[in-house]
Amino acid sequence: MRLVEGPSGRKYNLAFQQSPTLIMPVSEAVGTHPYLRLLGIGLFGAVLCFLLTRNITQPITRLRAAASGIASGRLKTRVDPAVRRRHDEIGTLGRDFDRMAEQIEALVSAQRDLLGDVSHKLRSPLARLIVALGLLRQASPEGTPEYLNRIAQEADRLDKLIGQLLTLTRIESGIESTQREKFDLTNLVQEVAADGDFEARAHNREVKVVRADACTTLGVPEILRSAIENIVRNAIRHTAPGTSVDVTLERITAIEPKAVLQVRDYGPGVPERMLRDIFVPFHRVPNQDESNTHGAGLGLAIAERVVRLHEGHIQARNAANGGLIVEIELPVHGITV
Ligand SMILES: Nc1ncnc2c1ncn2[C@@H]1O[C@H](COP(=O)(O)OP(=O)(O)O)[C@@H](O)[C@H]1O
Ligand SMILES: [Mg+2]
């Protein structure tokens, strides 16, 4: 209560009454208090910035995911429809990206189909040639000329090469999810090593399983088996007489558990600059030795694609004390008991 004097000189008692809610409404407080007003503006700005940034970074993250899909060979990858529907530059970029992906996919599949068709077409006359050769041998059984054996040998090689080319084109076109199954990788590796050991012993070499952790993976066991077989056969072919090829299967429990398979031999290894090239079709190390005269250089190319189809990774490196180590990493799906 306060005593005030009016313009006429009359005295008044001025009484205040506190608002029943002690706390002022926020909007009022923000409106009146300078610091609170600043804080309000700041908060509003921050929310606006956050929304704006998210509006830009989210589609870019999606674009990046699509690009990395294409980069890792999944040519069917397309940009998220939400990005394509946008009416800004990011939307245009998304639509252009999809057009590019379609073009790449069409080109690659046309090339693959051509390779597959050519291989198929070559196979029939070759099969007839092999039959004719057999008949010719039967017709003159006494003393088959040396060059006929040579022709048979070359025809056989050609047949194997065409078979590998067909495998490569089949694998390139991907594997259906229905073909995939969960299987025991440890068992598969042990079987391949045992078969390899049988072959190797005939040439004074052996294949040893040094370690085999329990691993189960998801995929197509037959094609994974042929990929591992090729690696083990290469190692047997290159390892020095009297030495062994060491096979190790390790289960690594990182954030995502994985199986690491290593095939190590005691041979000449591969020149450092060619460690990546040996996974490219038809690439072979020149002047290696007479043990490497067979094969067309498709085995590791097939293995690389097979491993990629299993969401894995393959690489080769030279061991410190000589020999080549080929390492395959595969995701594991549960533990076998
Ligand atoms: N264990 C190894 N030691 C040395 N060189 C190897 C080994 N494995 C592969 N290579 C080299 O890599 C090349 C490609 O191997 P691959 O694709 O299996 O073809 P291929 O066995 O038909 O020659 C081989 O020709 C050989 O030069
Ligand atoms: Mg090979």
Dump pLDDT digits (tens) for 16-28.
Answer: 776 655 555 666 6
Ligand 1 atom index nearest CA of 238: 3
Question: Model confidence over 59-98: pLDDT tens digits?
Answer: 999 999 999 999 887 889 999 999 999 999 999 999 999 9
In the beta sheet, which residues pair with residue 248?
Answer: 211, 262
Query: Which residue's CA lies nearest to atom 24 of ligand 1?
Result: 284
pLDDT of residue 286: 85
Ligand 1 atom index nearest CA of 302: 17
Distance CA 171, CA 306 (A): 7
Query: Which residue's CA lies nearest to atom 7 of ligand 1?
Result: 234
CA of 303 to the centre of ligand 2 (A): 9
Distance CA 279, CA 296 (A): 12
pLDDT of residue 13: 84
Query: Which residue's CA lies nearest to atom 2 of ligand 1?
Result: 235
Q: Say if ligand 1 is within 6 A of residue 264 CB.
A: no
CA of 156 to the centre of ligand 1 (A): 20
* DSSP per-residue letters across 128-183: HHHHHHHHHHHHS-SS--HHHHHHHHHHHHHHHHHHHHHHHHHHHT---GGG-EEE
- Collapsed DSSP state (helix, strand, coil) of residue 208: strand
Distance CA 141, CA 143 (A): 6
- Minimum mean pLDDT range among 109-118, 187-196, 244-253, 271-280: 109-118
Where residue 336 falls among pLDDT bands split at 50, 70, 90?
Answer: very low
CA of 324 to the centre of ligand 2 (A): 13
Ligand 1 atom index nearest CA of 301: 17
Ligand 1 atom index nearest CA of 234: 8
pLDDT of residue 8: 84
pLDDT of residue 277: 95
Where residue 255 falls among pLDDT bands split at 50, 70, 90?
Answer: confident
Where residue 2 falls among pLDDT bands split at 50, 70, 90?
Answer: confident
Query: Which residue's CA lies nearest to atom 9 of ligand 1?
Result: 234
Distance CA 49, CA 54 (A): 8
Query: Which residue's CA lies nearest to atom 25 of ligand 1?
Result: 284
Choice between 223 and 15, residue whose per-residue pLDDT is larger: 223
Dihedral sign, CA of 305, 306, 307, 308? positive
The average confidence (pLDDT) of the chain is: 89
CA of 83 to the centre of ligand 1 (A): 45
Kindly report the pTM of this predicted structure. 0.73
Percent over 90 (pLDDT), the chain: 61
Please give the domain boundaries of the chain with CATH numbers for all domains.
26-102 (no CATH), 105-173 (1.10.287.130), 179-285+296-331 (3.30.565.10)
Percent over 70 (pLDDT), the chain: 92
> Which of 164, 263, 284, 324 is the best mutation target for the ligand 1 pocket, counting ligand atoms within 8 Å of the beta carbon and taking the most?
284
Q: Say if ligand 1 is within 6 A of residue 93 CB.
A: no
Question: Model confidence over 188-240: pLDDT tens digits?
Answer: 999 999 999 999 999 999 999 999 999 999 999 999 999 999 999 999 999 99
Question: Model confidence over 135-163: pLDDT tens digits?
Answer: 888 887 776 778 888 888 899 999 999 99
Question: Model confidence over 87-135: pLDDT tens digits?
Answer: 999 999 999 999 999 999 999 989 889 988 999 999 999 999 999 988 8
Q: Say if ligand 1 is within 6 A of residue 310 CB.
A: no
pLDDT of residue 19: 60
Q: Which ligand is nearest to the CA of 288?
A: 1
- Collapsed DSSP state (helix, strand, coil) of residue 106: helix
- Spatial strand order of the sheet with 206-212 comes to 206-212, 244-252, 258-264, 324-331, 313-318
Q: Say if ligand 1 is within 6 A of residue 58 CB.
A: no
